Amino acid sequence: MNIAIIPARQGSKRIKNKNIKLFFKKPIIYHTINILKKSKIFDYIIITSDSNKILNYCKKQGCDILVKRSKDVSDDQATTHAAIKHALKKLKIKIQNDDKIFCIYPCNPLLQIADIKKSITILGKNKKNYIFTVSKNSIKNINSIFLNKLNKVKLVKKKTIINRNSYIDAGQFYLAYYKTWMNYSNIHNNGVCLEIPEWRALDINYTSDWKKAEIIFSYLNNLSK
């Protein structure tokens, strides 16, 4: 079984109400949900949020299960892993250890179905690991970079010299078997990378990122604002 969980809390310091801010006339989370539905990969699409407004909107978009997040997994200190594990514990569907669980971020309009399919193939060869997207690191003064050969990840939490084997987390999604989510909390140290092009790896945190995402999304979908 393939399950997608979208963690979409209401708090956002840099871009207010980011998860439901209009992106090409629709809340940005709509585009993520739409991509997941179009993929026809997932048995369940699940939303976990501390916001009733977000949960109700996602229900109208055809998401299968809504999980109300508790305060302890909704603040700025809460980890992605904690939010996903909380959602999994709340589910009333029967889940097997080898079911594939995706954590897919809500502001993800550049997500590609082909990458989702590739990650499933990689997971089949790395059954005890998390699979996550990375891109080449071109920022010289960034913390937490990955020095790897794509199948071996080393997380460096300090400024370091950039070389040809340097990558950063692209911030699109994480994939692992249910048993991995439940037993291993360190996503990156237990990770295997899927490289995506740097121009498509955009973690939307600032207004400038949002504008870049609009340009790229328009190009990929032949749209105009």
Q: Model confidence over 1-26: pLDDT tens digits?
A: 999 999 998 877 778 889 999 999 99
Q: What is the mean pLDDT of the chain?
A: 88
* Bridge-based pairing state of the strands 145-147 and 191-195: unpaired
Q: Mapping DSSP to helix (H, G, I), strand (E, B) and coil, where does residue 148 land?
A: coil
The H-assigned helical ranges of 126-206 are 178-183
Contact yes or no for 5/103 (Cβ under 8 A): yes
Instruction: Give the pLDDT confidence score for residue 225 in this predicted structure.
Output: 46
Give the model confidence (pLDDT) of 97-123 as tens digits. 999 999 999 999 999 999 999 999 999
Domain map (residue ranges) of the chain: 2-221
- The string of DSSP codes covering 53-113 is HHHHHHHHTT-SEEEEPPGGGTSTT--HHHHHHHHHHH--S---TT-EEEEE-SS-TT--H
Instruction: Give the pLDDT confidence score for residue 138 in this predicted structure.
Output: 72
Give the model confidence (pLDDT) of 140-195 as tens digits. 656 667 776 666 677 776 655 566 677 888 989 999 999 999 999 888 888 899 99
Average pLDDT over residues 59-87: 88
Domain spanning 2-221, CATH architecture: Alpha-Beta Complex (3.90)
Decide if pLDDT at 84 tops 80.
yes
